[in-house]
Chains A and B, each alone.
Chain A
Amino acid sequence: MIPMVVFALKALGREARAGELKILFAAIVVAVTAVTAVAFFTSRVSDAFMQQAAEVLAADLRLESGRPLEINNSYTAKAHELGLRVARTTSFSTVLFNGETSQLTSIVGVSDGYPLRGTLRIANDLEGLGIATMELPQPGEAWADARILGLLGIPLGASIRVGSLSVRITHVLAYRPDQGTMFSALAPTLLLAESDIPNTHLLLDGSRATWTLLYAGAAHDIAQFQTWLHTYKSASERLVAVSESSEQLQRTLERATRFLQLASLSTLLLAAIAVALTARRYSQRQMSTIALMKSLGATQRFVFYVTALQLFVTAFIGAIVGIVFGWMAQSGLMWLMQDLIPTSMPPPRVATAGLGLAVALITLLGFALPPLLRLRNTPPARVLRQTLEPAPLSSLINYSSPLLAFSVVSYLLVRDWLLIGYALCGLFCVAVIFGLAGTLFVRMTTKVRGVAGVAWRYGISNIGRRGGESVVHIAAFGLGFAALLLLSVIRGELVSDWQRSLPRDTPNHFLFNISETQITPLNEMLASYGVSLPAYAPWVRARLVAINGISMQSQPRALTERGRAFVEREQNLSWSSKLPLDNQVTAGAWWNDNSQSSPQVSVATEFKDELGLKLNDVLTFDVAGETVNAPVTSIRKVRWDGFRPNFFLVFPPGVLDSMTGTFMTSFYVTHEGRKGLSHVARAFPNITVLDVGKIVDQIRGLMERAALAVQYVFVFTVLAGVMVLLSALEGSRDARLYEAAIVRALGASRRTLLTAVAVEFAVIGALAGVLAAGAAGIAGWFIAKHLLGVAYHFSGALWILGGGGGGLLVGMIGLLATRSVVSSPPSMALRGH
């Protein structure tokens, strides 16, 4: 064993010195560089994304309960054991008074450490944007929303009573990261030190309040803790993770992750093709040496182990170099993006380096093993007859080895078998179709080559003459282009979908408690601040008292915590003839002019799920003492984060119109127009104004970051694609060198040869591009529809880009890569051969 290792290492040193391994080495370096750069970058962006998303919760994980949660409970002990940080908030609603004026307020008591993610912003005037602070209100102090001060008419620095506690308002609370989590609590916030909460004497046994424990820490510790908590928490406690904090955020995160996964897979595929092509060439070149070694007495086992060891060492060194390059590439990228990324990015994950190593070794093993195994069988008699070649391997090994390697590495990269399954099926179909189309095309070229000048004829005839190799080129380029075109198409659809989902004019203000008579003067006032006429949704409050005639107290169904809240609290009922925006009927049917006269109700999926409702269940509501019976005639899926008024329960017009209700609306107002809204509050004191601009901005910021990531990751995939081109061209370099020498010796000019090379590659590239455009179009549609859930638009430009771009790119790179072949003196090439 030791002599073999010594021999292998010595031989490796010699081969490296002679440059035999340089292409394979380069392919591995590029593979690892591309994959690790994407992985490093993805890890940083997704960590940053999670961090920013975590701001929305002020933590990585929240545990909410309607009963007091002691901060030093067993959960906290476990959290500390895992190295997590813990904080607690207590929140409840109460009415604050200033003389005769009162305001319903959300009191939030926070412990040390709050917020665990994001920062509080405080201001010293009502309209200030505030500055970030690490401080918290001290006992006896409070930070108040500007609205509290405005509506109660008290100045900053004044004291206010909260239950039996008197606190001095020291700052305006301009922003708290988790303000969106209590979106339903429309009341403005008064932030207190948690130790002051008992002194208010407002929380008695059974009081309605929410106790929340906040946790933050490293991702895997949080994940571990989340699993633990799921098992041990009581049923009444609700766990909220970052991904659940907002439907829109979750969708964005999922899609961005999917895209980055696709980009990783595409990069890996391209890199693997490059490795396969170079390994094929390496084994071809090694065949004569192996035959010689065997004629000198080397056994098959010896040959195999020596070659495998050499490739392993090459892969290992290539991987290390690739990891360093990958790290540098993503650092460069971060540097380029420093103006675009507002906050500092978290560092790359160290584990990604291990991933790079695994990618190099497994890819090499899977894609280089078949040629290596075949090399082992090189007949020693090849030293006498160069035409002798080892028998081809069984298709099983030829195809299963790369397939297995690709699956394993894909799993390491994306951990999603469904996606890998789709990718493998797609790859298989595309490879077969490209292979068949390539074969057909190569046959056709033999018929058309006589139609143009000598350079064209020579170029076109080359395609037919190198039949098998041309098919491999068409398939390899085609796959490469398909991956690139696919990513560019998907990227475009994804980014425009994000832009569409939260356009610039997304509503950033809500108005509540508007009486019908106020709508006209309000509209006039809003118009003067540049607000276009908003839509008003009517609503009344009601209590659900029975389902199918059985009172809620006697219902046999087991209700969830949230379901119980639906029953115990009053619900907001609205009515509309048209299906509201952001709503989609998933079961039953929305009413039309004929059917809307009878009482009926459309229920949001959340309400249906929590109460276990189904179509035609009859709900009985108590609306200000009047009973309304309505069968469920449709179920709606509602996009709650469209920032428009939406309701769990919607009736047709005519059922609730006579009840005394109010209206609500939402609209977009510019930064300038914003100041005018304080006049609205003053002119219509009963109307509640809620500013959600910061929440919208928070979500938009996340989407922009995700969009940026998908744009830039693409660069690495393109680089891997170029590597495929180069390695495919290198594969035929020896034969080309010899042929070019012969043709030049026969008197052909360099220009003729270069034109021929350009024609040959441009034709191959154009065909590969057209095939790729077809594949990318179909795959793009499938991925957009089934994996990302975005709309897909077929475009003719894809074909032009594929065919034209493919021809131009392959023609140019082919020309550049084979220039030296054409330029070297014919005598040298002939002698070398």
Chain B
Amino acid sequence: MTVLEARKVSKQVSSPEGVLTIVHDISFAMNGGDSVAVVGASGAGKSTLLAILAGLDTPSSGQVWLDGQEITGLDEDGRAAVRSRSVGFVFQAFHLVQSLTALENVMLPLELTAVTGAKAKARAALSAVGLEARANHYPSQLSGGEQQRVAIARAFVNKPVILFADEPTGNLDTTTGSKIADLLFSLNESTNTTLVLVTHDRSVAQRCKRLIELDSGHLLSDLRLR
């Protein structure tokens, strides 16, 4: 079943040099449980495409369908509702709220949607990433790897249909990065979540079932790896 589909998606922005096209006419579709790595050089348009696919940004033209709904036809709040229901995020810079403990950070998406039993669910998610003992620590008291594990727990706690990860290992050393990738893929496997991963790390990209390569906003290749 198709959970994410992009149809002729383009994004243009104005700059001092004139109108720039960052994403050119990109179309592809993903099924549930699939994992795709979006790769390309810096400035290739990876993060912009991710933002459009996740409904964080709107394309200049084209449509995006997410979990059966055309999100490009929705307003900001409509897209937010889709995100809260169907989407999880993991970011390069972790984006943990510094004033919240690990547990509270994981509870955040549940509290936003007023889900009951938020605390128990968040504890379970932290436990799944091996950080139960650090539940009451603040981000500044955690290492980079631990912070990213909290972010992963937060991303999965809502049982999203699709998970977007933007350079999830980009701020981590190779060993920690590899452990984080292990965690991400094992959770993807066990929860049957669809994973869209933007990365520079070829070894991480190779672990996805599919590889999309961008070059200057154009879809250069779309390979099925397994």
Binding site for B on A (CB under 8 A): 3, 6-7, 10, 14-15, 17-20, 288-289, 292-302, 379-381, 383-386, 832
Query: How far, in whole Å, are A18 and B99 apart by their CA atoms in the complex?
Result: 5
- Cβ-closest chain A residue relative to B82: A297
* A-B contacts besides A292-B95, A384-B47, 12 pairs, CB < 8 Å: A7-B114, A18-B99, A292-B108, A295-B54, A295-B89, A296-B89, A296-B108, A301-B77, A379-B57, A380-B83, A383-B95, A385-B51
Establish whether residues B84 and A292, one from each chain, have CB atoms under 8 Å apart when the complex forms: no
B76 at the interface (CB under 8 A from A): yes
Q: List 12 A-B contacts (CB under 8 A).
A: A6-B114, A7-B111, A10-B111, A15-B99, A18-B99, A293-B112, A296-B112, A298-B84, A301-B77, A379-B56, A380-B57, A832-B140
Q: Considering the chains assembled together, what is the distance between the CA atoms of A295 and B109 in angstroms? A: 10
Known: A295-B83, A297-B83, A379-B57. A302 touches B95 (CB 8 A): no
Q: Decide: B112 and A302 in contact? CB cutoff 8 A.
A: yes
- CB-CB < 8 A to B57: which residues of A? 379-381
Please give, as numbers and ranges, the residues of chain A lying within 8 Å of B51 by CB-CB distance. Answer: 381, 384-385
Residues of B within 8 A of A292 (CB): 95, 97, 108
Shortest CB distance A175–B (Å): 67
| Inter-subunit contact B56/A380 (CB<8 Å) | yes
Contact A297 B81 (CB under 8 A): yes
Chain A at the B interface: SS class:
helix
Q: Which among A298, A299, A384, A832 is the interface contact of B91 at CB below 8 angstroms? A: A384
Instruction: Given A296-B109, A302-B112, verify A385-B84 contact (CB < 8 Å).
Output: no
Q: Kindly identify, within residues 82 to 117 of chain B, every residue whose CB is under 8 Å from any CB belonging to chain A.
A: 82-85, 87, 89, 91, 93, 95, 97-100, 104, 108-109, 111-114
Q: Which of A289, A296, A302, A384 is B83 in contact with, Cβ under 8 Å?
A: A296
The docked-state distance in angstroms from the alpha carbon of A10 to that of B104 is 10
**Closest A residue, CB atoms, query B105:** A292
CB distance A14 to B104 under 8 Å? Answer: yes
A563 to chain B, nearest CB (A): 74
Query: Which of chain A's residues have a CB closer than 8 A to the CB of B91?
Result: 383-384
Is the pair A296, B84 in contact by a Cβ cutoff of 8 Å? yes
Minimal beta-carbon separation of B200 from chain A (angstroms): 15
**Nearest-neighbor residue (CB-CB) of A296 within chain B:** B109
Q: Using Cβ atoms and an 8 Å threshold, which residues of chain B touch A301? A: 77
Q: B114 — which chain A residues lie within 8 A by C-beta?
A: 3, 6-7
**Nearest CB on B from A179, distance (A):** 69
Residues from chain A with Cβ under 8 Å of B50 in the complex? 384
Residues of A within 8 A of B83 (CB): 295-297, 380
**What CA separation (Å) do A294 and B112 show in the bound complex?**
10
Looking at A292, A294, A379, A384, the one whose CB has the most chain B CB atoms below 10 A away is A384
Partner of B77, one of A3, A6, A299: A299
Of chain A, the residue at the smallest CB distance from B88 is A296
Given contacts A15-B99, A384-B91, A299 and B80 within 8 Å (CB-CB): yes
Contacts of B95 on A, CB cut-off 8 Å?
A: 288, 292, 383
Q: Which 10 A-B pairs have the closest CB atoms?
A: A297-B84, A18-B99, A3-B114, A299-B77, A381-B56, A381-B51, A297-B83, A381-B57, A380-B56, A296-B109
CA of A832 to CA of B98 in the docked complex: distance in angstroms? Answer: 10
Taking a contact as CB atoms under 8 Å apart, the answer to whether A384 and B99 are in contact is no
Shortest beta-carbon distance from B199 to chain A in Å: 14
User: In the complex, what residue of chain B is closest to A297 when comparing beta carbons?
Assistant: B84
The answer to the question of B146 belonging to the interface, with a C-beta cut-off of 8 Å to chain A, is no
For window 49-74 of chain B, which residues contact chain A by CB distance below 8 Å?
50-51, 54, 56-57
Q: B5 contacts the other chain (Cβ, under 8 Å)?
A: no
A10, A19, A292, A832 — most chain B CB neighbours (10 Å):
A292
B80 to A297, Cβ gap below 8 A?
yes
Give the nearest-CB partner of A15 in chain B.
B99
Chain B hits for A296, CB < 8 A: 83-84, 89, 108-109, 112
Given the contacts A289-B97, A832-B140, A299 and B81 also touching, CB distance less than 8 Å: yes
Contacts of B109 in A (CB 8 A): 296-297
Size of the chain B interface, CB-CB below 8 angstroms: 33
Q: How far is the CB of B161 from chain A (nearest CB, A)?
A: 13
Closest to A302 in B: B112
* Inter-subunit contact A383/B98 (CB<8 Å): no
Q: Give every chain B residue within 8 A of A386 (Cβ-Cβ).
A: 93
> Within 8 Å CB of B97, what residues of A?
289, 292
Point out the residue from A3, A10, A14, A383 that lies within 8 Å of B89, measured CB to CB.
A383
Q: A294-B80, A379-B56, A385-B47 are in contact. Are A14 and B112 (CB under 8 A)?
A: no
Chain B residue with Cβ nearest A380: B56
Complex Cα–Cα for A298 and B113 (A) = 8
| Residues from chain A with Cβ under 8 Å of B76 in the complex | 299-300, 380
Chain B nearest CB, measured from A827 CB (Å): 13
Question: Using Cβ atoms and an 8 Å threshold, which residues of chain A touch B113?
Answer: 297
Q: A7–B112 contact, CB under 8 A? A: yes
Query: How far in angstroms is the closest Cβ of chain A from B82?
Result: 8
Chain B contacts for A299, CB-based, 8 A = 76-77, 80-81
**Closest residue of B by beta carbon distance from A299:** B77
Q: A7-B114, A298-B112, A380-B80 are in contact. Are A18 and B47 (CB under 8 A)?
A: no
Cα distance, A14 to B105, chains bound together (Å): 11
- Please tell me if the beta carbons of B99 and A20 are within 8 angstroms of each other in the complex: yes
B11 vs chain A, min Cβ distance (A): 11
Q: List chain B residues, Cβ under 8 A from A297.
A: 80-85, 87, 109, 112-113
**Chain A residues whose CB sits within 8 angstroms of the CB of B140 once the complex forms:** 832
Which chain A residue has the least Cβ–Cβ distance from B144? A831
Contact A384 B166 (CB under 8 A): yes
Instruction: Return the chain B residue nearest A377 by Cβ.
Output: B76
Query: A444 to chain B: closest CB distance in Å?
Result: 26
Checking A10, A14, A288, A384 against B56 with a beta-carbon cut-off of 8 angstroms, the contacting residue is: A384
Q: How far is the CB of B206 from chain A (nearest CB, A)?
A: 23
Residues of A within 8 A of B93 (CB): 386
Among A292, A295, A301, the one with the most B-chain Cβ atoms within 10 Å of its Cβ is A295
Interchain CA distance A362-B109 in the complex, whole Å: 32
- Say yes or no: A298 contacts B80, CB within 8 Å: yes
Smallest CB-CB separation from B97: which chain A residue?
A289
- The complex places the Cα of A792 from the Cα of B76 at a distance, in Å, of 59
In the complex, what's the smallest C-beta–C-beta distance from B150 to chain A, in angstroms? 13
Minimum Cβ distance to chain A for residue B169 (Å) = 16
- Chain A residue at smallest Cβ distance from B77: A299
Give the shortest distance, in Å, between B109 (CB) and chain A (any CB).
Answer: 4
Cα A381 to Cα B56 in complex, Å, equals 5
Chain B positions within 8 Å of A289 at CB level? 97
Cα–Cα distance between A294 and B89 once the two chains are bound (Å): 11
Task: Identify the closest chain B residue to A3 (Cβ).
Answer: B114
Whole-angstrom distance between the Cβ of B151 and the nearest chain A Cβ: 10
Of all chain A residues, which has the CB nearest B109? A296
Complex CA distance for A380 and B89, rounded to whole angstroms: 12
Measured CB to CB, the nearest residue on chain A to B58 is A381
- Assembled-state Cα–Cα distance A726/B48 (Å): 40
Give the CA-CA distance A482 to B178 in the complex, in Å.
Answer: 60
Shortest CB-to-CB span from A282 to chain B, Å, is: 12
Distance of A302 Cα from B85 Cα, bound (Å)? 16
| Interface core residue of B47, B81, B82, B98 (most chain A CB under 10 Å) | B98
| Mask of B32-59 contacts with A, CB within 8 angstroms, 1/0 | 0000000000000001001100101100
- Chain A residues whose CB sits within 8 angstroms of the CB of B84 once the complex forms: 296-298
On chain A, the residues within 8 Å of B47 by CB distance are: 384-385
Q: Are the C-beta atoms of B99 and A295 separated by less than 8 Å?
A: no
Q: Give the CA-CA distance A577 to B125 in the complex, in Å.
A: 102
Contact A295 B56 (CB under 8 A): yes
**Bound Cα distance A585, B56 (Å):** 77
Q: Are B108 and A293 in contact (CB under 8 A)?
A: yes
Distance in angstroms from B46 CB to nearest chain A CB is 10
Q: Which residue, B56, B111, B140, has most C-beta atoms of chain A within 10 A?
A: B56
B112 touches A383 (CB 8 A): no
Given the complex, which residues of A lie within 8 Å of B98, measured CB to CB? 18
A767–B84 Cα distance when bound, in Å, is 51
Chain A residues within an 8 Å CB radius of B89: 295-296, 383
For the complex, give the distance between the alpha carbons of A384 and B46 in Å: 11
Query: Considering only CB atoms, which chain B residue lies closest to A4 in the complex?
Result: B114
Residues of A within 8 A of B108 (CB): 292-293, 296
